[in-house]
Chain A
Amino acid sequence: MRSTKPRTRTARASRSPHLTLLVATRKGAWLFHGDGARKAWRVDGPHFLGHVINHVVLDPRDGRTLLAAAKTGHLGPTVFRSTDLGRRWKEATRPPAFPKEPEREKGRARAVDHTFFLTPGHAAEPGTWYAGTSPHGLFRSDDGGATWEPVSGLNDDPRYRKWMGGPQDGTPDGPKLHSIVVDPRDPAHLFLGMSSGGVHESRDRGRSWTPLVKGLEVVGGLDPSNIAFHDPHTVRLSPADPDRLWQQNHCGIYRLDQPSDTWERVGRSMPRRVGDIGFPLVLHPRDRDTAWVFPMDGSDVWPRTCVEGRAAAYVTRNGGRTWRRLDGGLPQSQAWWTVKRQAMTGDARDPVGLYLGTTGGELWTSRDEGERWACLARGLPEIYALDVAEPAR
């Protein structure tokens, strides 16, 4: 197994043995503080009750800065920042926003509806963050999230303008730019995914981008050479091997080992009655061959529920050659919910802890890599995103 020191574990020795689950929902954010054994959890929240929170992320570089992507059903989008683990929040002075378009472009003028995805930049670039928005847009902050600038190399590239979605595209809640990934070996090496817009790679810190879609399937009858027909749901870079990318796509589960530029559909070995359609994907922190997914019903009208109403994650331990069902403790009837693309995550402990949040407002945890699941919370609003972090002492 190849391995590289993951950037998220820098300075771990100074970190608390405790974990914090960051829960972003349709009606606010909650923090669940866990003990070292991951058995007892203390709830802190709601924060921003009534706000649509698409993502809450802790900066692993300092262990205490939180960023939250927020809007309400009626107010425009913004980003809130806390430097004391959520005790006090301050709004960004310049949230992600597209430049004002000239009058002749008014018909195509873009405005950020919401920030969907947040990720800290490279360990060598403290203060740098990236944000992905709906409609598709990439933004960067170099001051810890206080002010944001558009990444013009993507947002204004005429090719990308053709591929990016408009209000009628993408998910029912608008096209998303998501899965912004920074190579832990090189701050200039970036990946991102766009719902109905493909997977893309930059080697110059976002100044230029190249599609990375070879080998990916598209919906039957459509032309795979049209980037707009490619619909990545989640893209992840292996912490154990940064040459390896995994992807849960609208059309299956894929893996790519660079320098190859061709994705391999490793989800074909999933049980036929379950299929390999879903949204989230979690990678093992130390084993490049282990990945977890949470399949959903992607038949006819895309019900997007647990397949047959029976909840289960699936794991591969051999790079996608075979998959095994993990449903211990999860409901095996009448589970008509699903797990959104950002609502499943894992910690870096041994054994790895897994966490999933449902569209029905339930939080489920596993301390043994998915063998047994227990419900941590019920009655939350629809869960949009889940991150697990190790706060500073």
Chain B
Amino acid sequence: MKVLVPTPLRSYTAAGAVEADGATVAEVLADLDRRYPGIRFRMIDEQDRMRPHMRFFVNGEQVFDLARPLRPGDEVQIVQALSGG
């Protein structure tokens, strides 16, 4: 499925939209890490928590649980809540 990638992570993907597979948001992030090694740890900490300022949406709806199921055709959006100077 399509995953939208914010600019701070494009040093990994070299693109603003990439493909990844998975039945949940967590699985999609794991697949992203297989394709672009290191990218997951920049978003998810070692306790499997979303890092502060990282937000995930599915079809425009915010996700608070990485176990959120996905269906074929869903679009995952990764968003950074930019703030401060």
Contact = CB atoms under 8 A, between A and B. Distances in A.
A200 B44 CA distance: 31
Contact of B8 (A75, A93, A111): A75
Contact of B51 (A76, A92, A93, A100): A76
A75 B8 CA distance: 8
Interface string A32-74: 0000000000000000000000000000000000000000111
Contacts of B44: 76
Interface string A92-113: 1101011111000010011110
Main SS class of interface, B: loop
A78 interface: yes
Interface size class of A (residues with CB under 8 A): 20 to 34
A91 interface: yes
Interface in B3-44: 8-9, 37-38, 41-44
Interface string B35-62: 0011001111111110111100000000
B80 A93 contact: no
Interface residues of B, number: 22
B67 to A, nearest CB: 14
A76 B41 contact: yes
Interface string A154-173: 00000000000000000000
Interface string B59-81: 00000000000000000000011
Nearest to B83: A73
A74 B45 contact: no
Contact of B54 (A74, A91, A93, A97): A74
Contact of B48 (A75, A92, A100): A100
B8 A72 contact: yes
Nearest to B37: A93
Given A74-B81, A74-B82, 20 more contacts: A73-B53, A73-B82, A73-B83, A73-B84, A74-B8, A74-B52, A75-B42, A75-B51, A75-B80, A76-B41, A76-B43, A76-B44, A76-B51, A78-B38, A78-B42, A93-B38, A97-B45, A101-B47, A106-B47, A111-B45
21 contacts: A73-B82, A73-B84, A74-B8, A74-B54, A74-B82, A75-B8, A75-B42, A75-B43, A76-B44, A76-B45, A76-B51, A78-B41, A78-B42, A93-B37, A95-B38, A97-B41, A98-B46, A101-B47, A109-B47, A111-B47, A112-B46
Interface of A: 72-76, 78, 91-93, 95, 97-101, 106, 109-112
